Amino acid sequence: MKLVSWNVNGIRACVKKGFMDYFNEMDADIFCIQETKLQEGQINLDMPGYYQYWNYAIKKGYSGTAVFSKMKPLQVRYGLDLEKAEVCEPEGRVLTLEYEDYFLVNVYTPNSQRDLARLPFRLDWEDRFLAYIKMLDQEKAVILCGDLNVAHTENDLKNPKSNRNNSGFTEEERGKMTRFLGEGFTDTFRHFYPDQKDKYTWWSYMNKVRERNIGWRIDYFIVSDRLKDSLKDAEIHSEIFGSDHCPVVLEWNK
Protein backbone atom coordinates (compact mmCIF):
# COMPACT_ATOMS: atom_id res chain seq x y z
CA MET A 1 0.00 0.00 0.00
CA LYS A 2 1.04 3.58 -0.65
CA LEU A 3 -0.17 6.37 1.63
CA VAL A 4 0.44 10.10 1.14
CA SER A 5 -0.02 13.04 3.50
CA TRP A 6 0.30 16.71 2.56
CA ASN A 7 -0.51 19.99 4.26
CA VAL A 8 -1.69 21.83 1.15
CA ASN A 9 -2.15 25.23 2.89
CA GLY A 10 -5.37 25.82 0.98
CA ILE A 11 -6.50 23.14 -1.46
CA ARG A 12 -7.95 25.65 -3.91
CA ALA A 13 -4.60 27.42 -4.22
CA CYS A 14 -2.70 24.13 -4.33
CA VAL A 15 -4.86 22.81 -7.18
CA LYS A 16 -3.78 25.83 -9.23
CA LYS A 17 -0.15 24.88 -8.53
CA GLY A 18 -0.28 21.29 -9.76
CA PHE A 19 -1.93 19.32 -6.94
CA MET A 20 -3.86 17.02 -9.27
CA ASP A 21 -0.75 16.25 -11.34
CA TYR A 22 0.99 14.99 -8.23
CA PHE A 23 -2.12 13.21 -6.97
CA ASN A 24 -2.55 11.32 -10.23
CA GLU A 25 1.16 10.52 -10.51
CA MET A 26 1.29 9.02 -7.02
CA ASP A 27 -1.78 6.81 -7.50
CA ALA A 28 -1.88 6.35 -3.71
CA ASP A 29 -4.23 3.95 -1.99
CA ILE A 30 -4.95 6.63 0.61
CA PHE A 31 -4.18 10.35 0.20
CA CYS A 32 -4.62 12.69 3.18
CA ILE A 33 -4.51 16.48 3.19
CA GLN A 34 -4.54 19.10 5.93
CA GLU A 35 -5.31 22.81 6.06
CA THR A 36 -7.90 22.59 3.30
CA LYS A 37 -9.18 26.10 4.08
CA LEU A 38 -12.65 25.80 2.59
CA GLN A 39 -16.26 24.90 3.26
CA GLU A 40 -18.49 22.29 1.66
CA GLY A 41 -19.29 22.99 -1.98
CA GLN A 42 -16.34 25.31 -2.62
CA ILE A 43 -14.39 22.80 -4.70
CA ASN A 44 -15.14 19.73 -6.79
CA LEU A 45 -12.16 17.41 -7.23
CA ASP A 46 -12.40 14.87 -10.04
CA MET A 47 -11.00 11.69 -8.49
CA PRO A 48 -12.42 8.59 -10.19
CA GLY A 49 -12.00 5.49 -8.05
CA TYR A 50 -11.67 7.40 -4.78
CA TYR A 51 -14.05 7.94 -1.89
CA GLN A 52 -13.75 11.50 -0.55
CA TYR A 53 -14.21 12.47 3.10
CA TRP A 54 -13.97 16.07 4.33
CA ASN A 55 -13.94 17.59 7.80
CA TYR A 56 -14.53 21.34 7.46
CA ALA A 57 -13.77 24.00 10.05
CA ILE A 58 -16.69 26.17 11.06
CA LYS A 59 -14.53 29.26 10.52
CA LYS A 60 -14.34 30.08 6.81
CA GLY A 61 -10.99 29.68 5.06
CA TYR A 62 -9.39 28.00 8.06
CA SER A 63 -7.92 24.61 8.98
CA GLY A 64 -9.80 21.50 7.78
CA THR A 65 -8.78 17.98 6.73
CA ALA A 66 -9.71 15.51 4.00
CA VAL A 67 -9.00 11.88 3.05
CA PHE A 68 -9.25 10.34 -0.42
CA SER A 69 -9.33 6.54 -0.32
CA LYS A 70 -9.58 3.79 -2.93
CA MET A 71 -11.08 1.51 -0.27
CA LYS A 72 -14.42 2.25 1.31
CA PRO A 73 -13.94 2.41 5.09
CA LEU A 74 -16.16 0.57 7.53
CA GLN A 75 -16.78 3.83 9.37
CA VAL A 76 -15.70 7.49 9.33
CA ARG A 77 -15.29 9.50 12.51
CA TYR A 78 -15.04 13.29 12.70
CA GLY A 79 -13.12 14.97 15.54
CA LEU A 80 -12.18 13.54 18.93
CA ASP A 81 -15.61 13.72 20.58
CA LEU A 82 -17.67 11.25 18.60
CA GLU A 83 -20.97 12.54 19.93
CA LYS A 84 -20.51 16.28 19.36
CA ALA A 85 -17.60 16.65 16.95
CA GLU A 86 -18.84 19.90 15.47
CA VAL A 87 -19.11 21.45 18.94
CA CYS A 88 -15.96 20.10 20.60
CA GLU A 89 -13.71 20.13 17.52
CA PRO A 90 -14.96 23.09 15.44
CA GLU A 91 -11.69 23.41 13.49
CA GLY A 92 -12.05 20.20 11.45
CA ARG A 93 -8.69 18.87 12.59
CA VAL A 94 -9.23 15.11 12.82
CA LEU A 95 -10.59 12.51 10.41
CA THR A 96 -10.55 8.80 11.30
CA LEU A 97 -11.27 6.07 8.76
CA GLU A 98 -11.79 2.56 10.11
CA TYR A 99 -10.79 -0.39 7.94
CA GLU A 100 -10.91 -4.10 8.66
CA ASP A 101 -7.42 -4.34 10.16
CA TYR A 102 -6.50 -0.78 11.13
CA PHE A 103 -7.53 2.81 11.74
CA LEU A 104 -6.24 5.63 9.53
CA VAL A 105 -6.13 8.95 11.40
CA ASN A 106 -5.50 12.22 9.56
CA VAL A 107 -4.71 15.17 11.83
CA TYR A 108 -3.82 18.85 11.67
CA THR A 109 -2.44 19.63 15.12
CA PRO A 110 -3.08 23.15 16.49
CA ASN A 111 -0.15 25.57 16.31
CA SER A 112 0.83 27.12 19.64
CA GLN A 113 1.32 30.46 17.80
CA ARG A 114 4.37 32.68 17.56
CA ASP A 115 3.91 34.22 21.03
CA LEU A 116 2.92 30.79 22.49
CA ALA A 117 -0.51 32.22 23.34
CA ARG A 118 -2.12 28.94 22.35
CA LEU A 119 0.41 26.66 24.05
CA PRO A 120 -1.90 25.72 26.96
CA PHE A 121 -4.64 24.79 24.47
CA ARG A 122 -2.09 22.85 22.44
CA LEU A 123 -0.85 20.85 25.42
CA ASP A 124 -4.41 19.99 26.46
CA TRP A 125 -5.07 18.92 22.87
CA GLU A 126 -2.01 16.64 22.98
CA ASP A 127 -3.36 14.85 26.05
CA ARG A 128 -6.82 14.40 24.57
CA PHE A 129 -5.41 13.29 21.21
CA LEU A 130 -3.10 10.70 22.78
CA ALA A 131 -5.99 9.31 24.81
CA TYR A 132 -8.04 9.02 21.61
CA ILE A 133 -5.26 7.25 19.69
CA LYS A 134 -4.60 4.85 22.57
CA MET A 135 -8.31 4.03 22.66
CA LEU A 136 -8.23 3.17 18.94
CA ASP A 137 -4.99 1.22 19.33
CA GLN A 138 -6.60 -1.07 21.90
CA GLU A 139 -9.08 -2.15 19.22
CA LYS A 140 -6.78 -2.39 16.18
CA ALA A 141 -3.53 -0.94 14.83
CA VAL A 142 -3.34 2.79 14.01
CA ILE A 143 -1.71 4.64 11.12
CA LEU A 144 -1.52 8.33 12.00
CA CYS A 145 -0.49 11.01 9.53
CA GLY A 146 -0.57 14.76 9.22
CA ASP A 147 0.97 18.06 10.21
CA LEU A 148 1.84 17.62 13.89
CA ASN A 149 3.35 21.11 14.19
CA VAL A 150 6.40 19.95 16.13
CA ALA A 151 10.02 19.23 15.25
CA HIS A 152 10.76 16.40 17.64
CA THR A 153 14.57 16.37 17.73
CA GLU A 154 17.39 18.73 16.84
CA ASN A 155 17.85 16.74 13.61
CA ASP A 156 14.32 17.75 12.59
CA LEU A 157 15.04 21.42 11.90
CA LYS A 158 17.88 23.45 10.43
CA ASN A 159 18.57 25.82 13.32
CA PRO A 160 17.70 24.14 16.62
CA LYS A 161 19.68 26.51 18.86
CA SER A 162 18.06 29.71 17.59
CA ASN A 163 14.59 28.12 17.60
CA ARG A 164 14.69 26.63 21.08
CA ASN A 165 11.47 27.47 22.90
CA ASN A 166 9.88 28.86 19.74
CA SER A 167 6.48 27.56 18.66
CA GLY A 168 6.86 24.00 17.41
CA PHE A 169 10.16 23.45 19.22
CA THR A 170 9.33 24.14 22.86
CA GLU A 171 10.38 21.61 25.49
CA GLU A 172 6.70 21.07 26.26
CA GLU A 173 5.71 20.21 22.69
CA ARG A 174 8.75 18.02 22.10
CA GLY A 175 8.08 16.28 25.41
CA LYS A 176 4.54 15.47 24.35
CA MET A 177 5.89 13.86 21.18
CA THR A 178 8.39 11.83 23.17
CA ARG A 179 5.61 10.67 25.44
CA PHE A 180 3.38 9.81 22.47
CA LEU A 181 6.03 7.62 20.84
CA GLY A 182 6.77 6.02 24.19
CA GLU A 183 3.19 4.77 24.42
CA GLY A 184 3.77 2.19 21.67
CA PHE A 185 4.10 4.17 18.44
CA THR A 186 6.82 4.58 15.80
CA ASP A 187 7.89 7.64 13.81
CA THR A 188 8.22 5.88 10.45
CA PHE A 189 10.78 8.24 8.93
CA ARG A 190 13.09 7.83 11.93
CA HIS A 191 12.49 4.08 11.82
CA PHE A 192 14.21 3.99 8.43
CA TYR A 193 16.51 7.01 8.78
CA PRO A 194 17.31 7.47 12.48
CA ASP A 195 20.15 9.97 12.05
CA GLN A 196 19.20 11.67 8.78
CA LYS A 197 19.60 15.46 8.76
CA ASP A 198 18.48 18.15 6.33
CA LYS A 199 15.23 16.37 5.39
CA TYR A 200 12.38 18.75 6.04
CA THR A 201 8.68 19.07 5.24
CA TRP A 202 7.99 22.77 5.92
CA TRP A 203 9.78 26.01 4.99
CA SER A 204 8.92 29.61 5.72
CA TYR A 205 7.82 31.76 2.79
CA MET A 206 10.65 34.18 3.59
CA ASN A 207 12.99 34.92 0.71
CA LYS A 208 15.12 31.94 -0.43
CA VAL A 209 14.45 29.95 2.76
CA ARG A 210 13.27 26.89 0.86
CA GLU A 211 15.96 27.31 -1.77
CA ARG A 212 18.56 27.16 1.02
CA ASN A 213 16.67 24.28 2.73
CA ILE A 214 16.22 26.10 6.03
CA GLY A 215 13.30 23.96 7.10
CA TRP A 216 11.52 21.88 9.73
CA ARG A 217 10.25 18.28 9.68
CA ILE A 218 6.79 18.63 11.19
CA ASP A 219 4.74 16.29 8.94
CA TYR A 220 4.70 12.64 9.93
CA PHE A 221 3.49 9.11 9.46
CA ILE A 222 3.34 7.42 12.87
CA VAL A 223 2.18 3.84 13.32
CA SER A 224 1.45 1.39 16.10
CA ASP A 225 4.67 -0.40 16.99
CA ARG A 226 3.24 -3.74 15.90
CA LEU A 227 3.12 -2.51 12.28
CA LYS A 228 6.73 -1.36 11.99
CA ASP A 229 8.11 -4.70 10.76
CA SER A 230 5.71 -4.59 7.80
CA LEU A 231 6.76 -1.11 6.67
CA LYS A 232 8.59 -0.80 3.36
CA ASP A 233 9.77 2.84 3.28
CA ALA A 234 9.03 6.40 4.40
CA GLU A 235 9.75 9.25 2.02
CA ILE A 236 9.80 13.04 2.03
CA HIS A 237 9.03 14.55 -1.39
CA SER A 238 10.74 17.89 -0.88
CA GLU A 239 10.95 18.43 -4.63
CA ILE A 240 7.17 18.90 -4.79
CA PHE A 241 5.96 22.49 -4.53
CA GLY A 242 2.45 23.92 -4.34
CA SER A 243 2.46 24.63 -0.59
CA ASP A 244 4.86 25.72 2.13
CA HIS A 245 4.82 22.03 3.11
CA CYS A 246 5.79 19.08 0.95
CA PRO A 247 4.15 15.64 0.82
CA VAL A 248 5.31 12.70 2.94
CA VAL A 249 4.79 9.11 1.84
CA LEU A 250 4.53 5.75 3.59
CA GLU A 251 4.86 2.43 1.77
CA TRP A 252 3.47 -0.49 3.70
CA ASN A 253 3.48 -4.21 2.96
CA LYS A 254 -0.04 -4.77 4.26
Instruction: Provide the pLDDT confidence category of residue 141 given band limits of 50, 70 and 90.
Output: very high
Active-site residue identified among 147, 156, 187, 219: 147
Cα separation, 44 vs 33, whole angstroms: 15
Catalytic residue status for 147? yes
Active-site residue identified among 108, 132, 200, 220: 108
pLDDT for residue 174 is more than 50:
yes
In angstroms, how far is the first alpha carbon of the chain from the final one? 6
**Average of per-residue pLDDT values in the chain:** 95
Cα separation, 8 vs 10, whole angstroms: 5
What phi and psi values does residue 192 have, to the nearest 5 degrees? -90, -35
- Give the per-residue pLDDT at 80: 86
- Give the per-residue pLDDT at 85: 46
- Give the per-residue pLDDT at 219: 98
**Minimal CA–CA distance to 108: which of 1, 198, 243, 252?**
243
Instruction: Provide the pLDDT confidence category of residue 131 given band limits of 50, 70 and 90.
Output: very high
- Give the per-residue pLDDT at 252: 96
Let me know: does 90 contact 59? Beta carbons within 8 Å.
yes
- Give the per-residue pLDDT at 254: 83
- Give the per-residue pLDDT at 89: 77
Over residues 33-60, the mean pLDDT reads 96
State the amino acid at position 92 in one-letter form: G
pLDDT for residue 3 is more than 90:
yes
Please give the model's pTM, rounded to 2 decimal places: 0.96
C-alpha distances in angstroms, 221 versus 55, 81, 82, 166?
19, 23, 23, 23
pLDDT digits (tens, 9 = 90+) for 64-99: 999 999 999 999 999 986 555 444 678 999 999 999
User: Strand pairing partners for 5?
Assistant: 32, 248
**Minimal CA–CA distance to 242: which of 196, 210, 197?**
210
pLDDT digits (tens, 9 = 90+) for 196-239: 999 999 999 999 999 999 999 999 999 999 999 999 999 999 99
pLDDT digits (tens, 9 = 90+) for 24-39: 999 999 999 999 999 9
**For the chain, which domains are there?**
2-252 (3.60.10.10)
